[in-house]
Amino acid sequence: MEAILGNIENLTDILLLVEPFDYFVLALNLVLFLFAKKILNYFYNKGDKNSNFLMRVTVFRFLNVLIFILYGYHYLYAPTGKDSWDFQLIGILATLYIGYIAQHISTYFIQLRFGKEREVNGDKRIIETYNTRLLSILSTIFITVITLITLVRLLGFETWLEAGGVLGFIGVFLALTQAAWAPDVFSGLIILNSGIVEEGDVIEVNGGSQILGIIFKTKMFHTEVLNLVNNHRIMIRNSHLREHVIHNLSKFASAKGLREKLIFNIGYESEANKVRQMFDAAFQAAAIDSEIKVEEQYPAEIRTLDAGDYAVKWAFFYYTKDVKNLLSTRHKMIEKIIFTAKDQGIELSTPVLNRFIPSD
């Protein structure tokens, strides 16, 4: 019983040492720990679907746990006094925590104020613009500088000369590594400022291998693209993206929609009027098919592109506005033309040219 009473007295003495401000910090820390997932999910729209979301929650709660441990160590084992190393470490962690939260909160309100709402893959969300990206970078730099200055002072660098030396070292490090990150950051800003590519747009990139996909997100250093051919995500550096020709298929040049072109090689034995009739019949069949997303109010355009040695190269043009199903529409339209040509006795295979040289 005496041991229990002694423990109670020791606990009472410890609680008397805890100041009101410490109670406030511990209570706030507990609230942030318990509601970390909800808080982050509020600042990241549908953030729980993001692969990095759990990592952010873990970082938040890890800092909370460290602060609890340091407070417990200070009041249970360490000598009292605000100049001990554990309170210094608590101040450092609290500064990092506040800076981390402030950066996310500022980015959230910047996107809320200057962002643009758009539907991406069936979900409505606020996408980044040039203004949001630039203001986010400026706010991040400002918060980072304030946080670094606070950390430098907490670490014991009292004079501005000492603090400037630490900050100068960080500045030199960034200057030496700018070739690795600066081109992508500025390329991302240029892409957002041009407005030619936005999240949710269907693009075609002509590089080493042609890419047809949907812009999923333009981030600080790279752009995520959902490949429509193989249904997987591609990460492209912003600087690399700017080096190639980008066709934005979602931004039409007219109200008719995207003008798609299909090319066929048809032999000279097929009469031109019958070829045109075949293409028109195939388009009419596609127009009444609900699975083929063509603009039936605009008739198909048939053109001859080239007269080769083996066959005539015909171009078949049609319009579509459903660019996200572009591949499906294209493949089904080709299938309609193949079946229609077969029904009308028009051969689509390229003829073989045989030249006979008469003997003497």
What pLDDT score was predicted for residue 2?
40
For Cα atoms 227, 236, 189, give the angle at the middle one, nearest 5 degrees: 120
Residue type, 282: A
**Rg for the chain, CA atoms, rounded:** 33
Gap between the Cα atoms of 100 and 94, Å rounded: 10
The structure tokens listed for 248 are 């934005």
The structure tokens listed for 295 are 């603009």
Tens digits of per-residue pLDDT, 207-253?
A: 656 788 998 888 888 898 998 888 888 898 898 888 888 889 988 88
Domains of the chain plus CATH, in order, are: 2-176 (no CATH), 195-248 (2.30.30.520), 258-343 (3.30.70.100)
Whether pTM > 0.85 for this model: the answer is no
For Cα atoms 124, 129, 134, give the angle at the middle one, nearest 5 degrees: 140
The structure tokens listed for 95 are 């500064």
State the DSSP code for 309: S
**259 three-class SS:** strand
What pLDDT score was predicted for residue 300?
92
**245 three-class SS:** strand
Tens digits of per-residue pLDDT, 86-118?
A: 567 767 777 887 887 788 788 888 888 887 777
Q: 184 and 220 in contact (C-beta within 8 Å)?
A: yes
What pLDDT score was predicted for residue 129?
80
What pLDDT score was predicted for residue 77?
56
Gap between the Cα atoms of 68 and 84, Å rounded: 16
Longest dimension (CA), the chain: 130
Q: Mind giving me the DSSP string for 26-73? A: HHHHHHHHHTHHHHHHHHSTTGGGSTTHHHHHHHHHHHHHHHHHHHHH
Q: 130 and 193 in contact (C-beta within 8 Å)?
A: yes
Query: Which residues of the chain are modeled with pLDDT < 70?
Result: 1-19, 21-22, 43-52, 71-87, 90, 119-123, 156-167, 169, 207-209, 350-360
Q: 285 and 340 in contact (C-beta within 8 Å)?
A: yes
